[in-house]
Amino acid sequence: MAVLKKFRPKWWPNNRRSPVARTHTNIALVPPVDARYDLRPLSVAQIDECWLLDQRCFVDGEAYSRDTFEYLLTARRLASSLMERVEEGFLRREARIVRLEVRAANLSAQKLYSSLGYTVTQRLPRYYSNGGDGLLMVKPLA
């Protein structure tokens, strides 16, 4: 309920507001019953966009930090599930090892890959176009 109390006054006028707010009561704030939506899971690429929207909607310390958005997205097992599906595809194709490269500074991705059984085998100096180092991680399959 605390969340609704924070943003409801911004869009839903009520009778306790000033007469100026009541002049906008004819604005359709509720979508039509037959409205259709295309719902898709939030991807890591959309975190900044979602976080900026959250900053606009929730003020006074109620907004999530960007780190919280990233944690919530990665904590829902989306990345793990995707990696497991990829590995299943490799197994069907009789692959025996998976290798991937990850930024040395991307600790959250490294933690994910380690939890899935990947180990760092090599540091890749200046691997990325901005000069950042990479890490080679591998995982044996079956």
**Measured in Å, how far apart are the chain's first and last C-alpha atoms?**
49
The CA–CA distances, whole Å, from 27 to 36, 58, 139 equal 20, 22, 57
The tens digit of pLDDT for each residue in 69-117 reads: 788 777 777 778 889 989 999 999 999 999 999 999 988 889 999 999 9
Return the domain boundaries, the chain: 95-140
Q: How confident is the model at residue 68 (pLDDT cuts 50, 70, 90)?
A: confident
Q: Is-contact 137 110, C-beta < 8 A?
A: yes
Residue type, 78: L
Reply yes or no on whether the pLDDT at 54 is more than 60. yes
Determine the 3-state secondary structure of 112 from DSSP.
helix
pTM attached to this predicted model: 0.50
Mean predicted confidence (pLDDT) in 15-36 = 58
